[in-house]
Amino acid sequence: MDERLAAGYAYDLPPALIAQEPAARRDGARLLVVRDDALEDRTVEALPRLLRVDDLLVLNETRVIPARLFARRESGGRIEILLLHPAGSVGYDPRAASWIALLRPAKRVRKEERLELLSRTGRSAGSAFVVAVREHGARELRFELDLPFEQMLAHSGRLALPPYIHNESDEAQERYQTVFARVPGSVAAPTAGLHLSEELLDTVAARGIEIVKLALDVGLGTFAPMQTERIDEHVMHAERYAISTHAVEAIERARSAGRRIVAIGTTVVRALEGNVAQHGALRAGEFETTLFITPGFRFRVVDAMMTNFHLPRSTLLVLVSAFAGRARILRAYRAAIERGYRFFSFGDAMLLEREGSAR
């Protein structure tokens, strides 16, 4: 099938393989190592031994905000609010008074309606005024709060787990955050990083493997399925990212020495490759990217990556196919299904080398 067709990235997944809870230990998840045509079954715990001692590992230290809120309509009905980003910006800003949000149910929520926000104990936590109805059913909300915004989120919000995860437990909330999360701003987790424990990172460091971090705010648009017939017709949402001078210098030293750059997750790949695509070379600072990595893309930074198994017809499945080869990825997915790997955010992972990588 034509690799430019969205249908070429569809596959059938038994519902039982959609992970509803994480592995008992973060690094206890299974890891499918894909090397050329070979597929090797390991666990994430083996990652330090699978890396080369001169590799440079890049993590996304974004922190998922509790963007899922609950409110009461003037009619008395309850409604769920999912914050996406401040109005007029894709970057997280706790000082913003107005936010773009998705509501459920949303059909009857009109402009100028006032929603009473509810804390997790059911008390009033302020209100959200519907300023406008935006495209794709989103609403612009203006908050009028009794507490600072971040305190309101802490008292009233929950992490917005993906809709295919039916798990409301506190453990699921805790495990949907990486152990190295530091910079608030994401509404969805950089899921490959969920597998890394503090002990595993200590082992990586003890082997002398260099680790640097960046921050990309993960939005829901990254995970949205492609609705177009051809992948080239799909429009990506913008995502904010920041790279420090320290990280840029470390990555450039590694590249100059011929060392591998290993990304933990597709968000790291988008940030690094989007940065070089925009500027011609890695540049420190805070930027936005709308980069959609598709087959034929010339990777200039990342040589290997660890990533979860992605949804059918998703832009992330297209990205990893561009990285490692569509035929190889689809073959690995078929094998993972046959071997009972667990899929999506709380599922297992893959370790991939870039197709044609010389390093």
pLDDT at 356: 78
Here the tokens at position 44 are 């994430």
pLDDT at 359: 46
Between CA 8 and CA 250 the distance in angstroms is 37
Between CA 266 and CA 191 the distance in angstroms is 9
pLDDT at 355: 87
- Report whether 356 contacts 58 (CB < 8 A): no
Residues in Cβ contact with 248 at an 8 Å cutoff, skipping those fewer than 6 apart: 282, 283, 284
Between CA 134 and CA 45 the distance in angstroms is 45
Between CA 25 and CA 139 the distance in angstroms is 39
What single-letter amino acid sits at 127?
Answer: S
Residues in the chain with pLDDT values less than 70? 223, 357-359
Between CA 222 and CA 270 the distance in angstroms is 10
pTM over 0.85: yes
Residues in Cβ contact with 202 at an 8 Å cutoff, skipping those fewer than 6 apart: none
Q: Which domains does the chain have, with CATH numbers?
A: 6-64+172-353 (3.40.1780.10), 68-156 (2.40.10.240)
242-270 pLDDT per residue, tens: 999 999 999 999 999 999 999 999 999 99
Here the tokens at position 9 are 């990235």
- Report whether 310 contacts 191 (CB < 8 A): no
pLDDT at 164: 95
pLDDT at 222: 73
Beta strand 68-72 with 114-118: parallel, antiparallel or unpaired?
antiparallel
The H or E element that residue 223 is part of is none
pLDDT at 316: 96
First to last CA, the chain: 30
